[in-house]
A and B are shown apart, each in its own frame.
Chain A
Amino acid sequence: MYLEFYSQVYAPPVEIEESKNGYRISMELPGSLRDDIKVWAEQGILTITGEKKAPFSDSEEEKGSRLMAERVFGKFSRSFQLPEDADTSRIEANFDNGILTVEIPKSEKAKPKDIRIN
């Protein structure tokens, strides 16, 4: 079962950045379609799942005609624990040029604030 799990689910590469206003997760999903990707946040955990479908059928006949096979297809899933200052109600996701970008703003409370001395 362990083996089966790893041969069916793969983890696309991501990049996580933090700026003053929030966090950004970008994931490489070349060839995936917007509709095949699902992003949700639950109890402080952000999950991205989906399926990268192969553009050809999986029949034996087709397999034999793949002269080079480096691309990985199939289901993918990755989860990220969000920091406490993440505002899960305002998460935005965008898919462009094979890159999924998820923007997670910091909650207003957590932002640095200058305090004026009276």
Chain B
Amino acid sequence: MLNIVKREPRYGWGLLNLRDEMNRMFHNFFDEYDQRENFWAPSVDIVEDKNKLTLTAELPGVDKKDVKISIQNNVLVIEGEKKQKTEKKEDNYYRSERFYGKFCRSFTLPSELDSEKIDADYSNGVLTVTLPKSDKVKPRQIEIK
């Protein structure tokens, strides 16, 4: 389960991030090695503005039919499978950096969202989920009488 936590954006794979990445790698390697083999996690951005939260997930080459989005008790779950196109036996692989297989990510949402109006769209390999805030928490100007 992943809570929404404010974090500095990461642009590229700069050397400054290298130490963090190395730490993360060592930490994860022994813990998660077995599970990692057939499991990957798409990169996700969440942007907040006045009226809504917008979640974008990178799912290149994933069929729309293979993605499932559900929400229950303020937890948004995105799961699915990235399938490799029919593999021909005679093909040789020179290099493979892409991941395939099942994925699942869940996010605990702040309670002030209007879960009835959640909208999802998939285009160009990016899944966009729009989560509008409920009217109660939207900033509102109060007139002085």
Residue positions of A touching B, CB distance < 8 A: 2-3, 6-10, 13-20, 23, 26, 28-33, 55-56, 62-63, 65-74, 97-99
- A16 touching B95 in the complex, CB below 8 Å, given contacts A70-B10, A72-B11: yes
11 cross-chain CB contacts under 8 A: A7-B14, A14-B95, A15-B97, A15-B98, A29-B60, A31-B126, A66-B45, A67-B46, A68-B46, A70-B45, A74-B12
Question: What residues of B have a CB within 8 angstroms of the CB of A10 in the complex?
Answer: 12-13
Nearest residue (CB) in B for A9 is: B12
Cross-interface CB contact of B94 among A7, A16, A33, A98, cutoff 8 Å: A16
Contact status of A33 and B124, CB under 8 A, knowing A14-B98, A18-B94, A72-B10? yes
- What is the count of residue pairs linking A and B with beta-carbon distances less than 8 angstroms? 134
CB distance from A53 to the nearest CB of B (A): 12
Residue B15, interface by CB 8 Å: yes
B129 CB within 8 Å of chain A? no
Size class of the B contact interface (CB-based, 8 Å): 35 or more
From known contacts A17-B92, A66-B46, infer whether A31 and B14 are also in contact, taking CB-CB under 8 Å.
Answer: no
Q: Which residues of the partner chain A approach B47 to less than 8 Å between Cβ atoms?
A: 56, 62, 65-67
Residues of B within 8 A of A (CB): 4-16, 43-49, 53, 55-56, 58-62, 88, 90-99, 124-126
Task: Say yes or no: B49 contacts A65, CB within 8 Å.
Answer: yes
A69 and B8: CB pair below 8 A? yes
Once bound together, how far apart are the Cα atoms of A62 and B125, in whole Å? 23
In the docked arrangement, what's the CA distance between A17 and B85, Å? 12
Chain B interface secondary structure, helix, strand, loop or mixed? loop
Specify which chain A residues have a CB less than 8 angstroms from the CB of B56 in the assembled complex.
Answer: 31, 55, 71
Chain A residues with CB under 8 Å of B13's CB are: 6-7, 10, 72
In the complex, A26 Cα to B15 Cα: how many Å?
27
| Nearest CB of chain A from residue B100's CB, rounded to whole Å | 10
- Taking a contact as CB atoms under 8 Å apart, the answer to whether B7 and A68 are in contact is yes
Q: How far is the CA of A62 from the CA of B12 in the complex (A)?
A: 18
Q: Are B12 and A30 in contact (CB under 8 A)?
A: no
Of B46, B53, B88, B98, which one neighbours A19 at CB under 8 angstroms?
B88
CB nearest to A19 among chain B residues: B91
Whole-angstrom distance between the Cβ of B21 and the nearest chain A Cβ = 12
- B-chain residues with CB within 8 Å of residue A98 when the two chains form the complex: 58-61, 124-126
Q: How far is the CB of B33 from chain A (nearest CB, A)?
A: 20
In this complex, the member of B11, B15, B59 whose beta carbon has the largest number of chain A beta carbons within 10 angstroms is: B11
